[in-house]
Amino acid sequence: MHLTRFRFNTHRPGARRLLSSPQAMHAAVMGSFPDLLPGDPGAPRVLWRVDRNAAAEVFLYVVSPARPDLTHVVEQAGWPTNPEGTWRTHDYTGFLDGLEAGQSWAFRLTANPVHSIRRKDGEPTKVTAHVTPRHQAGWLLKRQEACGFEIVRRSADQQLLPGEDEHELLVHDRGARGFDKPDPRPDRRGKRMRVPVVTATFDGRLTVTDPDALRRTLCAGLGRAKAYGCGLMTLAPVG
């Protein structure tokens, strides 16, 4: 596995175009792998995420089985005369192999927190987005055990709002992105429809409980909408 970080030159029109369209970004990322054919159902999973740390500090992270070639993205949205300062790829396997139960890590995850609901008896369930920070945090907390980690709990004297901030978890950069696709309704043939993708970014601290499950989470992603920049969790040393 490989972990790649690319820095955007936000002054360039190509960078602004990619950052404004999850579809364009997905195409650019997948175009970095010459052996991956579009629409191949057996293709290995490639995860990506955009971190907007500041107006001029925007990074693309990619986790992939193969090493990507981001030359075309550098030409559109980076610094072509200094590609090494724009994009770096690291071997991720050693880090993954070193995960052990009991380790503590800071983490970041951008995800698409959804649940299935039935509005009326007898109706099929419908996938619906969580839109409040409390429910979005609850979505992640429900998945932590299966994903191989436990989000660190705050002691009672560290909780500003008892019962509301029991965990070292911050939900931020909440928003609704989306993409267009052909409208399947017969009366709208030839038209396109907007599909919203509600996203939230989670920052926090976790303890490893099941290293194998956490490795799967880091490599395969967490949740839906992975093609649109969701699901990639990264770890960093605490502090």
Quickly tell me which residue has 């945090």 as its tokens: 137
Residue closest to 69 by CA, chosen among 27, 18, 32 = 32
pLDDT tens for the chain, 239 residues long, are 999 999 999 999 999 999 998 889 999 999 999 887 666 666 778 999 999 988 789 999 999 999 999 999 999 999 998 877 789 999 999 999 999 999 999 999 999 998 776 666 666 777 777 778 888 999 999 999 999 999 998 876 666 665 567 888 999 877 767 666 666 667 666 667 666 788 899 999 999 999 999 999 999 999 998 988 999 999 999 97
Residues 122 and 155 in one domain: yes
Residue closest to 91 by CA, chosen among 69, 72, 66 = 66
pTM: 0.86
Q: Which two tokens stand for residue 188?
A: 């709208």
Out of 52, 67, 96, a domain closes at 96
Residues 121 and 220 in one domain: yes
Contacts of 156 (CB under 8 A, 6+ apart): 162
179: β partners: 195
Residues 48 and 138 in one domain: no
Contact 230, 114 (CB under 8 A): no
Residues 88 and 169 in one domain: no
Alpha-carbon gap, residue 203 to 171, rounded angstroms: 7
Residues 113 and 226 in one domain: yes
The structural domain count of the chain equals 2
Residue closest to 194 by CA, chosen among 171, 206, 208, 176 = 176
What's the CATH number where 220 sits?
3.30.70.1210
Residues 106 and 212 in one domain: yes
pLDDT at residue 128, as a whole number: 73
Q: Determine the structural domain holding residue 143 and report its residue range.
A: 100-236
Reduced to 3 states (helix: H, G, I; strand: E, B; else coil), residue 58 is strand
Catalogue the E-assigned strands of the chain.
2-7, 47-54, 57-64, 87-91, 104-111, 114-117, 126-129, 149-151, 169-182, 192-208, 233-236
Residue closest to 200 by CA, chosen among 151, 134, 127 = 134
Residues 139 and 175 in one domain: yes
Residues 214 and 145 in one domain: yes
Q: Which residues of 2-11 are buried (b: 16+ CB within 10 A; e: fewer)?
A: ebbebbbbee
pLDDT at residue 197, as a whole number: 80
What's the CATH number where 58 sits?
3.30.70.1200
pLDDT at residue 118, as a whole number: 63
pLDDT at residue 218, as a whole number: 97
